[in-house]
Amino acid sequence: MKKIGFIGFGNMGSALAKGIINSNMIGQVLKSPEDILVYDKDETKMQLAKNEGLTTYPSAEDLVMNSDIIFLAVKPKDLKDSALSIKKAFEMSPESKNGKVIVSILAGTKVSKIYEYLEDDSIPIVRVMPNTPALVGEGCFGVFFTEKVPEEDRKIILSIFEKLGTYVIVENEALMDVITGLSGSGPAYVFLVIQALADGGVRMGLDRRTATVLAAQTVLGAAKMVMENLGKIHPEELKDMVMSPGGTTAEGITVLEENRVRYAFIKAVEEATKKSQKLSS
């Protein structure tokens, strides 16, 4: 049986804990939700964790010593403090280092940076790039495992992400910047698209709520069709199924092509990736 700790219990930390509670891990990997351990410097977050039946710890050091898998879920600016707490815990109790795995969800933070603060690169680290739809169980997780992560822990960690959406594994850490530019930033691009589609509907006479429902459900439905037909029907063919000769969709698509919308999205991912590369260098 494992104990899973969270340093930081904000948006992402609490969403991940929810994924564990809703998975079939309770009873199989953890005895009960009490085996999810939380330390957050914000007292209100600690209270939220207690309300969920989780165990809170008075310090990150205590939490580290008692956890098998440690999620690092603070903002990148707070990495140094948290990493130094982990280092201190391992110095206080060197034997407690055995069998532990750190899972970092910090955007733009290389594994080497964490090792630098820990002054020890023997601890297995998993680097993850989540996105906000994880908060509603439809997240995307880009995952990079360092070689040392044991197979058993890989399975446990991936089963958490599976409960909160879907995951992809990359072998090359540099690709985490592309994942940041695509699925990390991507929800913002899609919110903009939904908003713009709804604006079009409002412009042509729909009320705002109706237009927003139609726009959002259209994106949700189209995404589901792509996911259910992966490797079977190409998105281009799905588009052709809507675009009949001389019809309304052909008019709409022509406007999008005239305005280089495809190119704009390609460039958006490229520029966001470059920014992530710059921030993490």
Ligand X SMILES: NC(=O)c1ccc[n+]([C@@H]2O[C@H](COP(=O)([O-])OP(=O)(O)OC[C@H]3O[C@@H](n4cnc5c(N)ncnc54)[C@H](OP(=O)(O)O)[C@@H]3O)[C@@H](O)[C@H]2O)c1
The site for ligand X (CB under 6 A) is made up of 7-8, 10-13, 39-42, 45, 60, 73-76, 78, 81-82, 105-107, 129-132, 184
Query: Whose Cβ is closer to ligand X: residue 33's or residue 76's?
Result: 76
Nearest to 127 by CA among 100, 151, 153, 108: 108
For residues 116, 122, 124, 129, the Cα torsion angle rounded to the nearest 10 degrees is 20
Query: Whose Cβ is closer to ligand X: residue 41's or residue 154's?
Result: 41
Least Cβ distance, residue 14 to ligand X (angstroms): 8
Length of the chain: 281
Query: Whose Cβ is closer to ligand X: residue 25's or residue 107's?
Result: 107
Task: Tell me which amino acid residue 142 is.
Answer: G
| Cβ-contact 258, 155 below 8 angstroms | no
Query: Whose Cβ is closer to ligand X: residue 101's or residue 211's?
Result: 101
Least Cβ distance, residue 250 to ligand X (angstroms): 37
Position of minimal CB gap to ligand X: 10
Nearest-angstrom CA–CA distance, 83 and 281: 19
Q: Starting at the edge strand that comes first in sequence, how are the strands of the sheet with 125-129 ordered?
A: 55-56, 36-39, 4-7, 69-72, 101-104, 125-129, 139-145, 165-169
| Backbone region of residue 236 per phi and psi (left: phi > 0; alpha: psi in -120 to 50; beta: other values) | alpha
Query: Whose Cβ is closer to ligand X: residue 256's or residue 279's?
Result: 279
Least Cβ distance, residue 47 to ligand X (angstroms): 12
Least Cβ distance, residue 77 to ligand X (angstroms): 8
Query: Whose Cβ is closer to ligand X: residue 90's or residue 201's?
Result: 90
Nearest-angstrom CA–CA distance, 115 and 113: 5
Least Cβ distance, residue 106 to ligand X (angstroms): 4
Least Cβ distance, residue 109 to ligand X (angstroms): 7
| Cβ-contact 176, 127 below 8 angstroms | yes
